[in-house]
Amino acid sequence: MKIHEDQLIERIRRRIPSAPGATLRVGIGDDAAVVRPSRGKEWVLTVDQFIEGVHFLGSAHPPEVVGYKALARATSDLAAMGALPRLFLLSIALPAHRYAPVGKTRTGSWLDEMLKGMAKAARRFDLRLAGGDTARSSSTAPASGSDRGPDRAKVAMQITVLGEVEAGRAVRRRGARPGDAIFVTGQLGAAQLGLELVLRGLHRQRRWQRLLIPHYYPVIHIELGRWLVRRRLASAMMDLSDGLSTDLARLCRASGVGACIYRQSLPCVTLPPQLHLRGCDPLKLGLHGGEDYGLLFTVPKRLVRRIPRDTNYHFNHDGTRLTRIGEIVRGRAIKLVGADGQVSPLEPRGWDHFRAS
Amino acid sequence: MKIHEDQLIERIRRRIPSAPGATLRVGIGDDAAVVRPSRGKEWVLTVDQFIEGVHFLGSAHPPEVVGYKALARATSDLAAMGALPRLFLLSIALPAHRYAPVGKTRTGSWLDEMLKGMAKAARRFDLRLAGGDTARSSSTAPASGSDRGPDRAKVAMQITVLGEVEAGRAVRRRGARPGDAIFVTGQLGAAQLGLELVLRGLHRQRRWQRLLIPHYYPVIHIELGRWLVRRRLASAMMDLSDGLSTDLARLCRASGVGACIYRQSLPCVTLPPQLHLRGCDPLKLGLHGGEDYGLLFTVPKRLVRRIPRDTNYHFNHDGTRLTRIGEIVRGRAIKLVGADGQVSPLEPRGWDHFRAS
């Protein structure tokens, strides 16, 4: 099926919430979108890529998951600033049909399923599609006639998300001070465990399906981020996208501080006893596993008692679990304190696109 | 040279204007950028892709041109709404080094040159870099060991630009009414002529260098767009990115009108007599050639006399030339009136990503 650019845009527009309203004055179909700011608010914006073969596997990840996750990851950056998501732009490069192997086109049912997943995320996060750009992706020539070649049709998406936050109240990475308590949401390493199952081909086994959920449909903590902003409780915040060890190092570097993390306090993912994954242990997954998209934030000591223990009560849509995992300290070192009290340096060993290559 | 993601971001930050200020409250280095709106203004935003092998040729286009043009094309969409450019986000996927053929890496001097061109455009359009995203591009495996294979290292960029416009005053595509005069800026087809020279390998000949400029460094009509907004002269506007025949059809469809274009009035590019390009004639280039990034706009009849004849006086930084090329008419048809008065339908034969494939 050959498609025209205008038809493609129309298919996207029909599937994803995109009607103009009080905030979105001009949406899809003009040269650019026009957005009206709310009084006393600032805009928070970021862009995130989601590329086949880099961020997802076209052969393993269901298209609906691809669409959901592409939008969820970008939205996570808004949650990490304490912003309320409002709008997004979708930029997508799709392989031209004539080089796509039969049954592997990305402009037919794959695209519909992908958009379905993205629409689901848009409704969940209350995001409206304001515009975007479509193009043919560059990997269009067949690699020696085989559909298994490295140059198989590839999809690349980029999501620009915009949210609003009360002026001057966005929570940055750089506000952590010695003595602040460090918190994380959810389980650490749960998304990485899901990815490991996919990479080992175990994701098709029904008994492990449940373990794929954090990898497929990460929870985005918008409500918690908003709550922390409104009550001015967080001194610094970011989302856990590349793994605790890497992300905590970034937060500490931005704040000019060090940190002390307690091994015993880490809410690491638990592996079912029947599941044996060579090289995967809960501590490594918890410290270095990426894509959890939980929030990592610090709270001044005197405010810690205001952080609810039973977060299900406050943030009941996703049963967010909050765990205090350590303290901000003077200096630059980030240390891990073991169960036996032994202290070791915590090296950043999470995800880095260019190091991983 | 292997690079880390954080180092790459630092290299970009150092080269491109990105310091926070009155509008940009939080810039590069946090989860997201924070932007403070000006009183009485709306935000105009759009995203544009620039992909190696699709929008530019890594082997032919100088990296500085790639960087300049990537930002210029995106900014053109802001000019087309009458907005003042303020900020941009850069999303970039670079090939991992280990698969890049020697001398063809995109993370060394190529990247520096590209960023230099982008910085030049940022300064010219008064744009500040607010953030972005970096990733490894997916075309990383060598195609049968050859550096000439179709799967050579590829770069993909996406630029999100934000501008401001007086609330309610952005000029849309849909305001054209029967009787309105149709104007274009500059020469039509000049950019396409430059591309033809590149595609035919003539761009290395010194005598044609001058003809490459419109293709390499398109003029973006920010000042004219702002002037039209402030004086409320344009009833509809868009930029000429895919060729007059395709773009005019879009403007007419959005406005629910037809158009009548006069062949004799079209400011088509002129080909030097010594230059013989098979299949290229000025009229075809002018009607269907893409990437001019001029403005196409309509003006109600009673306001036409306010459009200056000597635009050099008003918009003297780029010597913008304005040409009245026809009229908006009732109905849906778009017609071309020849020198002999003969009328023929004008079919949209400009650029379409998916049709071209």
Chain A nearest-CA distance from B341, in A, is 32
At which of A115, A137, A166 does a domain end? A166
Select from A221, A77, A52 the least CA-distant residue to B133.
A77
Contact A327, A321 (CB under 8 A): no
Taking one residue from A and the other from B, the number of pairs with CB-CB distance under 8 angstroms is 281
Q: In the prediction, which pLDDT does A354 show?
A: 61
User: Confidence class of residue A35 from pLDDT cuts 50, 70 and 90?
Assistant: very high
Alpha-carbon distance of A264 to A283, in angstroms, equals 10
**Do residue B255 and residue B191 come from a single domain?**
yes
Helices (H), chain A: 5-15, 63-79, 109-124, 190-199, 209-216, 222-230, 244-255, 282-288, 311-314, 353-356
- Min Cα distance A339 → chain B (Å) is 32
Residue A278, token pair as written in the block:
């060579």
Mind telling me how many Å the CA of A260 is from chain B's nearest CA? Answer: 22
Residues B324 and B244 in one domain: yes
Q: For residues A162 and A42, what is the distance between their CA atoms, to the nearest angstrom?
A: 10
Residues 6+ apart with CB under 8 A from B117: B62, B63, B64, B65, B66, B67, B68, B69
Higher model confidence: residue B174 or residue A5?
Answer: B174
CB B245 within 8 A of CB B350: yes
| Residue A220 structure tokens | 């985005």
Residue-range definition of the domain harbouring residue B223:
181-350
What is the share, in percent, of chain B residues with pLDDT greater than 70? Answer: 88
Distance, CA of A191 to CA of A114 (rounded, Å): 20
- Which of A209-218, A292-301, B101-110, B191-200 shows the lowest per-residue confidence on average (mean pLDDT)? B101-110
* Three-class DSSP category at B345: strand
Interface mutation vs chain B, best among A3, A13, A31, A229, most B CBs within 10 Å: A31
Residues A31, B239: C-beta atoms closer than 8 Å = yes
| Same domain assignment for residues B188 and B141 | no
Report the CATH number that the domain containing residue A317 is assigned in CATH: 3.90.650.10
- Both A162 and A282 in one domain: the answer is no
Q: Which residue type is seen at A296? A: L
Residue in A42, A51, A239 nearest the CB of B35? A42
Residues B152 and B228 in one domain: no
Listed by number, the residues of chain B in 80-109 with a beta carbon closer than 8 Å to a beta carbon of chain A are 80-81, 83, 89, 91, 93-94, 96-98, 107
First to last CA, chain B: 35
C-alpha angle B334/B337/B341, rounded to 5°? Answer: 145
Say if residue A232's pLDDT is above 90. Answer: yes
Mean pLDDT calculated for residue range B85-103: 79
Q: Which two tokens stand for residue A215?
A: 């990898």
Confirm whether B173 is domain-assigned: no
C-alpha closest to that of A52 among A42, A61, A40: A61
Task: Confirm whether A172 is domain-assigned.
Answer: no
Q: Is the pLDDT of residue B270 over 90?
A: yes
For the record, the structure tokens of B229 come out as 């907004």
* Residue A354 to residue B3, Cβ atoms within 8 A: yes
Q: Look at residues B166, B195, B211 and tell me which one is the last residue of a structural domain.
A: B166
d(CA B25, CA B19): 9
Q: How far apart are CA A108 and CA B218, in angstroms?
A: 35
| Coil, helix or strand at residue B81 | coil
Question: Smallest CA–CA separation between A203 and chain B, in Å?
Answer: 23
Domain count of chain B? 2
Q: How far is CA B265 from CA A296, B187, B298, B322, B339, in A?
A: 62, 11, 15, 11, 9
**Nearest C-alpha neighbor of B133 from the set B63, B58, B31:** B31
In this structure, the answer to whether residues B50 and B80 fall within a common structural domain is yes
Q: Which of residues 125-154 of A touch B (CB under 8 A)?
A: 130-144, 149-151, 154
Q: Which of A84, A221, A248, A354 best tests the B interface by mutation, with the highest count of B CBs <10 A? A: A354
Whether A235 and chain B come into contact, CB under 8 Å, resolves to no
- Whether residue A187 is found in the same domain as residue A159: no
Query: Smallest Cβ distance to A167: which of B36, B136, B140?
Result: B36
Assess contact for A153 and A139: CB atoms under 8 A: yes
d(C-alpha B193, C-alpha A193), whole Å = 54
Q: Are B158 and B280 in a shared domain? A: no
Closest CA to A3 of B78, B349, B357, B102: B357
Residues of A in contact with B1 (CB under 8 A): none
Amino acid letter for position A343: V
- Is B12 part of the contact surface with chain A (CB cutoff 8 Å)? no
Answer yes or no: do B185 and B124 share one domain: no
Name B53's Cβ contacts closer than 8 Å, sequence gap at least 6: A138, A140, B154
Share of chain A above pLDDT 70, in %: 88
Contact A31 B165 (CB under 8 A): no
* CA distance to A160, A314, B282, per residue, from A163 (Å): 10, 22, 47
Contact at CB, B81 and A8, closer than 8 angstroms: no
Q: pTM of the prediction?
A: 0.92
Same domain, B333 and B252: yes
pLDDT score recorded for residue A350: 86
* CATH number of the domain to which A64 belongs: 3.30.1330.10
Q: Cα–Cα distance between B162 and B45 in angstroms, integer?
A: 4
Nearest to A353 among B26, B41, B136 (CB): B136
Burial group, residue B264, by CB count within 10 angstroms (0-12, 13-18, 19+)? exposed
Q: How many CA atoms lie within 13 A of B146 on its CB side?
A: 8
d(CA A119, CA B346): 37
The answer to whether residue A295 scores a pLDDT higher than 70 is yes
Put simply, whether B162 touches A (Cβ < 8 Å) is: yes
What was the pLDDT predicted at A97?
61
Q: pLDDT per residue over A204-215, tens digit each?
A: 999 999 999 999
Non-local CB neighbours of A187 within 8 Å, separated by 6+ positions: A214, A267, A268, A269, A286, A292, A321
Min distance B216 CA to chain A CA atoms (Å): 20
Average pLDDT along chain A: 90
ipTM: 0.91
Which of the listed ranges A27-31, B99-103, B271-275 does the model predict with the highest average pLDDT? A27-31
Q: In chain B, which among 13-72 make CB contacts under 8 A with chain A? A: 25-26, 29-37, 41-49, 51-55
Test A144 with B141 for CB contact under 8 angstroms. no
Of B132, B166, B200, which closes a domain?
Answer: B166
Inside any domain, residue B221: yes
Which of B1, B30, B129, B155 to mutate to probe the A interface, most A CBs <10 Å? B30
Radius of gyration over alpha carbons of chain B, in Å? 21
The per-residue pLDDT for range A137-190, each reduced to its tens digit, is 875 444 444 444 444 668 999 999 999 999 999 999 999 999 999 999 999 999
**Percent of chain A scoring above 90 in pLDDT:** 78
